[in-house]
Chain A
């Protein structure tokens, strides 16, 4: 039987049509398309049972409670904990990074010892021997720096430093250090706590309360809870500051004012309140009244700040007529503010009768100390680290023989970075307990990496800004990935080696003792069904069942307490205001107005790798960061959009490009912080400039506190 042409074509056509009606070609195409995307270098997602465990963010200063999603026991995602009063379900970009930062390329993988210009890995035992030998020889001249405002680790660190002969135990400067100085000058004890949840009118003087100031996630939740979408807000927020920053962007009103003039604005409002009859029995009221009436009338303030008299009169009237007004003062970039503006802002709260009231300010007591010989938080906050290091650099202060640095990066995160780095160079033996290879660790002789928060026991006690005392637990949910140890354990091991008795064998014991001590604090309760702001508003606080506290903390609930410490009456500290706050002439030079954002990390975290995507290209493009000026300033300085410029200040030059942004005051140069790292990994290193290094430190008259709130810069 022959196959003619017609039959052949028929067979081919029939076969083709038949094949098209079978699933075979489609299945093959589908499989091929999957195979083309199935390369060995494409990561596979993990498989296993999913569960959730609770802890608290330590990387984020806002101290949010977290729910960590795990797969087969491995942490995968960090989300907000709806049951935690500092989270209420929200989480910052920085707190979200807690999990993936476990594998940050900048992590220090083992203890290391300096070997010339590089580091060589050593064992923990070698590290302890080396440290014991050097610290033993440095006795009487050992200093310590902590960047952790909220941890009980500070008790271990300061107690050890004291037993070694302290040359000073310092906290990195922050809003908390400034506020502590202000409260001390006003004659009160405790940490100022702000009850946003119950306030109906909030005047924000400078503080970036929704980004870097205090408990920012909780602040935002409190703000949002009273502002139903599309409806009339149940609260009013007014922001005073040099730029329309993330806080001002959602406030009902932005009043442009230089950061150097925040005290002037506060006293200008006080003038209106006093005129309307506000009075106080607090010590120093008469002097305060004389100071305000003597130099902060509407025309004085207008001349100094450019703010129209009717603007401040309207704000004063709104504050006086609100049921629960609240005044919050802070730095637009989280540091560098003098004590006087905080005193001036607090004076408004006093004139309005807002101390220890729902929706007002309370002086929160410090939680009990458990390590013998430790400094209190107030004592640590009283130190002035920039002044100390400047003294060391200039030779006026003897350089300590050894320095212990915990959770801090002073070589990057302080103003006048060049001066601070020189001071650090003068200290012969430095130990960093950083988890990441930061700028300061790179200068140290020993680097003893701390385990990350998901790998260790730690705690968060009343972050600055919280309206109530709060304590929550950080607990290990993952074994250390690298050869790291909890610094608390390392310090206690070192103490044993030096025959110093700090009462505890390991840091978990310290934390357990701390938790046990909370059960003895009167009025404390676990925030579960009742939240602390409800108690502040009058709801009865539930009783605390002592034995269950550890379990409750492990489950992600927080211990809280409402109310302030018993103490003498708060004074106006008018003599400080008289010296430090002046309604002078406006600055004629160009002034730097730095701003900070959690998405660029902190000096100790560097830029979390996932957060780099969140930085807009009007802030970072390639390796260059942008400064922001309005069109009036640009014209005055002959600047154009996209122009490359050099900023100079404090003997340092920084490169930038120009972005025209109208929500910056004339004469101000807004500059983002968190860039310009020389250490860390490729997500941080070499990205832009560190504009904080341009800020020169000055001494505030009246308080003696170091300040760098409005540094002058030159642009070329």
Chain B
């Protein structure tokens, strides 16, 4: 992977404890309504469906009774060295803001889908259809995220609007908006997870829980050897789960 990791004073990161995820989908439900992803009638066609947060089912590929499963929620990995950014011809996606969240500017997007092809995590979704809500349901749209037309690419933004709100709240409270308390800014999926499997915070801030969690011997990132330096970490005490995080050879 060419390019270098971009460093920022604040690095928002998510830590997902796979051993606590039951695969219920509450994170997906939270994300979709928070970010105005429209209900999809033919959602079983996964090549056309949009889900910024997606829960994958992992297996150890063994036969009964040695079979084991785990669930892996997958938001945008907010790469430190994002492959999607370098391929975008119109700078609709960029990593240029403190916090390290990879942006997506919908009006700039020309729908070429280079970024979709470049992303190794399949976090980017092309809008194949006009966003249509059942009659009246558009009254429940969140004011925080704009509705995207068909023909552009969209993805998880770590609920960026919540960061803006948290900074505003800090200013009102007379606190430093660039040094938020742990928990002052969390994404919708993290907030609503019934198992408490997701944690969120500034990885570089020693006062934030995730600062320690990413150092866990059980922590890993997806496809680390690509050098994407993602800001999403996973934790599992199961070795087979950690090994699925990258394309290891049998001898490794």
Contact between chains at B25 and A599 (CB < 8 Å): yes
Looking at the complex, which one of B20, B134, B197 makes contact with A103 (CB distance below 8 Å)? B134
Interface residues of B in 123-172 (CB under 8 A from A): 130-149, 151-152
Contact between chains at B25 and A100 (CB < 8 Å): no
What residues on B are CB-neighbors of A69 within 8 Å? 142
Contact between chains at B143 and A47 (CB < 8 Å): yes
* Contact of B70 with A by CB under 8 A: yes
Contact between chains at A622 and B44 (CB < 8 Å): yes
Contact between chains at B195 and A224 (CB < 8 Å): yes
* Contact of A141 with B by CB under 8 A: no
Can you name the residue of chain B whose Cβ is closest to the Cβ of A632? B64
Looking at the complex, which one of B25, B46, B140, B149 makes contact with A99 (CB distance below 8 Å)? B140
Interface residues of A in 563-598 (CB under 8 A from B): 597-598
What residues on B are CB-neighbors of A105 within 8 Å? 134-135
- Give B190-232 as 1s and 0s: 1 = Cβ < 8 Å from A's Cβ atoms: 0111111101000000000000010011110000000000000
* Contact of A500 with B by CB under 8 A: no
What residues on B are CB-neighbors of A630 within 8 Å? 63-64, 67
- Give B18-53 as 1s and 0s: 1 = Cβ < 8 Å from A's Cβ atoms: 011111111011101110110111111110011100
- Give A677-716 as 1s and 0s: 1 = Cβ < 8 Å from B's Cβ atoms: 0000111000000000000000000000000000000000
* Contact of A609 with B by CB under 8 A: yes
Closest approach, in angstroms, between the C-beta of B65 and any C-beta of chain A? 6
A549 to B137 Cα, complex, angstroms = 34
Task: Specify which of B33, B34, B40 lies most central, judged by the most chain A CB atoms within 10 Å of its CB.
Answer: B33
* Contact of B108 with A by CB under 8 A: yes
Chain B: interface residue count, which band?
A: 35 or more
Closest approach, in angstroms, between the C-beta of A463 and any C-beta of chain B? 14
Interface residues of A in 627-645 (CB under 8 A from B): 630-632
* Contact of A543 with B by CB under 8 A: no
What residues on A are CB-neighbors of B63 within 8 Å? 630-632, 662
What residues on A are CB-neighbors of B5 within 8 Å? none
Closest approach, in angstroms, between the C-beta of A56 and any C-beta of chain B? 15
A625 to B133 Cα, complex, angstroms = 25
What residues on B are CB-neighbors of A616 within 8 Å? 57
* Contact of A664 with B by CB under 8 A: yes
What residues on A are CB-neighbors of B143 within 8 Å? 45-48, 50, 71, 76
Looking at the complex, which one of B57, B140, B213 makes contact with A229 (CB distance below 8 Å)? B213
A337 to B89 Cα, complex, angstroms = 60
Interface residues of B in 44-84 (CB under 8 A from A): 44-46, 49-51, 55, 57, 59, 62-65, 67-71
* Contact of A137 with B by CB under 8 A: no
What residues on A are CB-neighbors of B110 within 8 Å? 33
Can you name the residue of chain B whose Cβ is closest to the Cβ of A614? B25
Contact between chains at B46 and A41 (CB < 8 Å): no
What residues on A are CB-neighbors of B39 within 8 Å? 100, 609-610, 612-613, 683
* Contact of A34 with B by CB under 8 A: yes
Closest approach, in angstroms, between the C-beta of A72 and any C-beta of chain B? 9
A682 to B134 Cα, complex, angstroms = 10
Looking at the complex, which one of B64, B147, B216 makes contact with A663 (CB distance below 8 Å)? B64
Looking at the complex, which one of B24, B132, B199 makes contact with A210 (CB distance below 8 Å)? B24
* Contact of A256 with B by CB under 8 A: yes
Q: Evaluate whether A230 and B218 lie within 8 angstroms (CB atoms) in the complex, with A33-B108, A41-B130, A224-B195 already known.
A: yes
What residues on B are CB-neighbors of A11 within 8 Å? none
Contact between chains at A230 and B235 (CB < 8 Å): yes
Q: Evaluate whether A229 and B20 lie within 8 angstroms (CB atoms) in the complex, with A103-B134, A613-B40 already known.
A: yes
What residues on B are CB-neighbors of A617 within 8 Å? 44-46
Q: Evaluate whether A103 and B64 lie within 8 angstroms (CB atoms) in the complex, with A210-B22, A229-B216 already known.
A: no
Looking at the complex, which one of A90, A598, A610, A615 makes contact with B195 (CB distance below 8 Å)? A90
Contact between chains at A224 and B33 (CB < 8 Å): no
* Contact of B107 with A by CB under 8 A: yes
Binding site for B on A (CB under 8 A): 30, 33-34, 37, 39, 41-48, 50, 69, 71, 74-77, 79-80, 89-93, 96-97, 99-100, 102-105, 210-211, 216-217, 220-221, 223-225, 227, 229-230, 244, 246-247, 249-250, 256, 481, 597-599, 609-618, 620-622, 630-632, 662-666, 681-683
14 CB contacts below 8 A, A to B, read A33-B107, A44-B147, A76-B140, A76-B141, A76-B143, A79-B30, A105-B135, A220-B196, A230-B216, A609-B134, A611-B29, A612-B40, A613-B43, A614-B29
